[in-house]
């Protein structure tokens, strides 16, 4: 999908709101207030006076569907003498990440405690007719202004994400070198939005982020005794597979995902749907799950709304009565602290102090599968260009190349299944989901080897090909060896010229 990493790109924002004991500001001001007209912050409670951290991530403009022009889009803690740390990662939608940053900033989190990972290729893109501006809602204001650029471009990697989360500055490559230096009493909020596949989350720079590696880092973070509680929001296709059957319940971490382990998540505010983006926008502005939790946070008093309340509200808005354009929001991990108020993880905006928490969110009448967002953009652009122009010819060429490679991936995986499991059984074996409560694969190293073998002979999977990750997992679950996979890949893809989709150009996804 398109790679808009402010609407689709991996951003990490580490945000600190109230600092440790004695360093909290007497007032929390809105961006439009000065020291004379700022409203006084509510009296501190036993849950305030802590530093909040946030990490935000978004993918490049050519990855997803959100507020991008030629691409597609998709931690905090408050407690007495604690810091609130927010980790927000969006590899699909830079607009989502920038929007999340603005919410945390208005909530009182300090910029020095916000770490942002984003590809940063949307705002200044020549196809962005509102140069320097990014929006996440059809009538929304600019969410790009003021967003720190801690890690951008080729600095947005799985390795840097893990290093930042662990507070390991020496392991960081490039960027601001800002990391999450959380303490034992701190709370952490992570928001991650990108493309996804079974057991994997996308990154603008390969390799992808795999579930076993993520859980390992979360275990290490817990073992380091550097936080009290953590809340994680994940926007991605099949995002439930990152935690299904593998997420421990004893790490003091609560997780919600945009989709279950086997279904897509969806882009919204797209051309041709209701409500549509402004007429000059040719792509989607956000993702259903992401805009749902953020618009909920913006219209509610987070000192009164509990974690479980937002989960239920987002779950209802993200689902669809006909199950054609909706997904099932899921929850994993430690569910014992869902009664805690959201301000402990996202901060508190004084402008919402009088909100009754009964404000209904408008329904989203249209959505598009995230994997199709980049194709939607290219078609909309093609339709607008002048007939016979060289630019129109080049856009059509790009569409044909993209579609051709997608068809190649689909047919190659299908053929490999038939070669390994037989003509009749092949497709069903590759696509079969495991029982609820089981991880997508037992041998994660095998999964990564299968991906590398396939890409070496058949070309890069790309974000679209993440839809086939379950097939690679099932090859492993059925005992297929690396040698057998190589033989099948050569048989399916022998002689194929992967060209710009070669892993020698893009790197391996595993």
Residues serving a catalytic function are 195, 237
Which residues lie closer than 8 Å to 325 by C-beta, 6 or more apart? 266, 366, 367, 368
Q: What is the 3-state secondary structure (H, E, C) of 442-476?
A: CCHHHHHHHHHHHHHHHCCCCCHHHHHHHHHHHHH
Contact 333, 249 (CB under 8 A): yes
- Distance, CA of 304 to CA of 403 (rounded, Å): 48
Which residues lie closer than 8 Å to 69 by C-beta, 6 or more apart? 4, 61, 122, 125, 127, 128, 129, 281, 282, 283, 377
Backbone dihedral region for residue 508 (phi beyond 0: left; psi -120 to 50: alpha; all else: beta) = beta
Q: How many CB atoms lie within 10 A of CB 482?
A: 14
Alpha helices in 64-157 (DSSP H): 94-106
Contact 197, 469 (CB under 8 A): yes
| Cα torsion 362, 366, 369, 370: sign | negative
CA angle in degrees (0–180, nearest 5) for 215-216-220 = 115
Which residues lie closer than 8 Å to 337 by C-beta, 6 or more apart? 229, 252, 254, 307
- Distance, CA of 192 to CA of 135 (rounded, Å): 18
190 - beta bridge partners? 55, 232
Look at residue 181 and give its three-state secondary structure: coil
């Amino acid at each position: 999908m398109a790679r808009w990493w402010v609407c689709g790109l991996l951003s990490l924002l580490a945000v600190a709101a109230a600092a440790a004991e004695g360093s909290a500001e007497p007032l929390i001001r809105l961006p439009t207030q000065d020291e004379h007209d700022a409203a006084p912050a509510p009296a501190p409670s036993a849950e305030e006076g802590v530093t909040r951290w946030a990490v935000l991530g978004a993918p490049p403009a050519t990855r997803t569907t959100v507020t991008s022009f030629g691409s597609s889009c998709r931690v905090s803690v408050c407690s007495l003498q604690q810091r609130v740390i927010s980790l927000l990662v969006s590899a699909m939608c830079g607009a989502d990440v920038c929007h999340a940053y603005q919410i945390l900033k208005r909530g009182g989190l300090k910029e020095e405690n916000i770490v942002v990972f984003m590809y940063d290729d949307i705002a200044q893109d020549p196809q962005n007719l509102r140069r320097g501006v990014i929006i996440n809602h059809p009538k929304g204001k600019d969410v790009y202004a003021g967003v720190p650029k801690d890690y951008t471009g080729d600095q947005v990697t799985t390795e840097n994400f893990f290093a930042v989360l662990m507070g390991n500055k020496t392991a960081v490559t490039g960027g601001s070198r800002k990391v999450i230096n959380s303490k034992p009493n701190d709370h952490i909020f992570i928001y991650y939005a990108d493309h996804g596949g079974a057991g994997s989350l996308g990154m603008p720079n390969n390799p992808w982020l795999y579930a076993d590696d993520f859980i390992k880092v979360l275990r290490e973070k817990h073992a380091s005794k550097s936080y009290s509680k953590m809340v994680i929001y994940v926007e991605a296709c099949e995002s439930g597979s990152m935690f299904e059957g593998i997420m421990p319940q004893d790490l003091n971490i609560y997780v919600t995902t945009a989709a279950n382990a086997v279904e897509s998540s969806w882009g919204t505010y797209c051309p041709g749907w209701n409500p549509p983006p402004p007429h000059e926008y040719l792509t989607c502005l956000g993702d259903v799950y992401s805009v749902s939790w953020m618009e909920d946070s913006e219209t509610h008093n987070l000192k009164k709304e509990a974690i479980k309340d937002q989960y239920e509200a987002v779950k209802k808005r993200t689902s669809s009565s006909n199950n054609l354009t909706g997904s099932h929001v899921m929850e994993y991990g430690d569910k014992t602290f869902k009664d805690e108020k959201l301000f402990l993880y996202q901060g508190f905006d004084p402008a919402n102090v009088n909100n009754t928490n009964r404000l209904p969110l408008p329904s989203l009448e249209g959505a598009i599968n995230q994997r199709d967002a980049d194709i939607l953009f290219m078609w909309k652009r093609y339709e607008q260009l002048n007939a016979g122009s060289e630019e129109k010819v080049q856009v059509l060429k790009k569409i044909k190349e993209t579609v051709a490679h997608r068809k190649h991936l689909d047919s190659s995986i299908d053929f490999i299944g038939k070669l390994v499991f037989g003509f009749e059984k092949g497709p069903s074996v590759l696509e079969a989901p495991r029982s609820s409560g089981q991880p997508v694969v037992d041998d994660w190293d095998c999964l990564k080897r299968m991906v590398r073998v396939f890409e070496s002979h058949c070309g890069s999977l790309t974000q679209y090909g993440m839809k086939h990750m379950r097939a690679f997992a099932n090859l492993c679950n059925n005992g297929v060896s690396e040698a057998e996979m190589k033989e099948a890949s050569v048989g399916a893809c022998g002689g194929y010229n992967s060209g710009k989709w070669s892993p020698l150009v893009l790197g391996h996804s595993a």
